[in-house]
Amino acid sequence: MPQLRLALNQIDSAVGDLDGNADAVVRWTRYSAERGAHLVAFPEMMLTGYPVEDLALRPSFVAASRAALLALAARLDREGLGGVPVVVGYLDRGEERLPRYGRPAGSPQNAAAVLQHGEVVLTFAKHHLPNYGVFDEFRYFVPGDTLPVIRVHGVDVALAICEDLWQDGGRVPAARAAGAGLLLVINASPYEVNKDDTRLDLVRKRAGEAGCALAYLAMTGGQDELVFDGDSLVVDAQGAVVARGPQFAEECLLLDMELPAAAPEPPSGTVGADGTGADRLTVVHRTLSARPLPRYPVEYPGGAHPRLGDEEEMYQALVTGVRAYVRKNRFRTVLIGLSGGIDSALTAAIACDAIGPENVYGVSMPSRYSSQHSRDDAAELARRTGLHYRTVEIAPMFDAYMASTELTGLAEENLQSRLRGTLLMAISNQEGQIVLAPGNKSELAVGYSTLYGDSVGAYGPIKDVYKSAVFRLARWRNAHAAARGETPPIPERTLTKPPSAELRPGQLDTDSLPDYSVLDAVLERYVDLDHGRDEIVAAGFDEELVRRVLRMVDAAEYKRRQYPPGTKISRKVFGKDRRLPITNGWREG
């Protein structure tokens, strides 16, 4: 069988940075070519970054993407890299009107191109457009209706983009009908907990349906609330894993493959999932190199990078999200209010791991109700991590407010939080750090946060992490440090003391909320799985508790709309995924 050395460049890109992304393509293509790659691939929309959202609706940006693609092809050739074919994602526009979609000619497309010898030798657009969760591609794009096939050293390689793999029909069965020896799929698939297992099962299944080996190239890095975990995969026609990339790291995954020889005559005409004409695609074939290569020694036999455990995977996703947000928005330093509690401690540890403790600033802002152990724990966290640390007492500010107006109960408690929020934003304005908000998903769900208080900030690193998981991640981070002979960053007392906002004497979270293990179990069903009240009660939860929790969730929608963006790690993050009306007469509780 013919041999082919494949280079899957699992790398990061930045939305809108056409020049920087093109530089990365050239740099990694050179790396691939120097190692003898015969086919080089990059992720979905690599040239523009992903997702571009409403930038896709700007004709000027679409034109810039198309121009950047032509310039990239010419540059690769000029720098001596034109001989190797390069598959790269970009933003294009459709040249034909698609009546069934009601879109005119010139509508945007999520596209990819094959570049060689200074030319764009083939272009195609994503066939299946996702329109669920964080995806709004029906809002932006029109689909492609071709099956692109390139012949590389005697092997026919079918090409597809991300959702083409996730939906039945389309390019997967068409690849079998066209007799492809390899199906190469480029992706920008966002991370979710346990999605790596889902992807593996899917890739194995689709390889069987395509009747050939399948290479799944994924993006890594972060963009606003989304993180991309890499974890690129190559399986053979039977679904056995041949190679697997690392998680949350850039990598050129090189692999020597033996693949079936292409048929003497290139595929042509239309292919589809069945004989009815439904979902049928026109084959677009380009022969780049017809003859198989002479036999060569195998240097890259494949193999799988070690897998991360569940907590480490989640933690690395959170670190990746903070690092990407800070660096890609050209910030340098961050500011965190340190209460001595678990949320701010985990947020600080994530920030230190993401951008270095020298770029992390912590402020303790005790009030008359702050315990000595909380003050000590905040200082101890700073000592263990090495972040910058100061204390600013809010008691004089609080006393001045209370002398001017009469506040009691919840209003008095929330004033303390709002004073802290104002102080953090003032320091941010003065010194240039961006504020990280430490709220977790449990608190955001039930409205247990103060608007313009602990909710202020530019980014919320743990906004999609339930409180129970906050404790698990903190314990994992400490254990990870201990195993490496390092100082665990989070003080032990922070892990063991009962959670408290410390806004009144003796206050505990459980005064207002159920135990977090119970609360999170209810929230996961209601928020992430969209279960209704009766369904949750039938799962064994107390009916009155369920009613109470659901009422709190429904009433807090307006608060969540004003919370900063933060890293998505679950199947349904507030904002990007879960979008409910604020004014809403339907109540589950």
| Residues annotated as catalytic (active site), given as ranges | 44, 126, 162
In the chain, the N- to C-terminal Cα span, in Å, equals 64
Question: Radius of gyration (Cα) for the chain, nearest Å?
Answer: 26
In Å, what is the CA distance from 307 to each residue of 204, 253, 254, 304, 476? 18, 15, 18, 8, 16
Residue 310: its H or E element: helix 310-328
For residues 131, 585, 552 and 550, what is the CA-based torsion angle, rounded to 10 degrees?
Answer: -70
Task: State the amino acid at position 535 in one-letter form.
Answer: E
Distance CA 354, CA 349 (A): 9
Q: Which of 472, 469, 568 is CA-nearest to residue 228?
A: 568
b/e for 42-54, b at 16 or more Cβ within 10 A?
Answer: bbbbbbbbbbbee
Contact 257, 182 (CB under 8 A): yes
d(CA 9, CA 314): 23
Residue 153 Cα distances to 85, 237, 295, angstroms: 11, 19, 12
Alpha carbon of residue 190 to chain centroid = 4
Q: CA 360, CA 421: separation in Å to the nearest integer?
A: 17
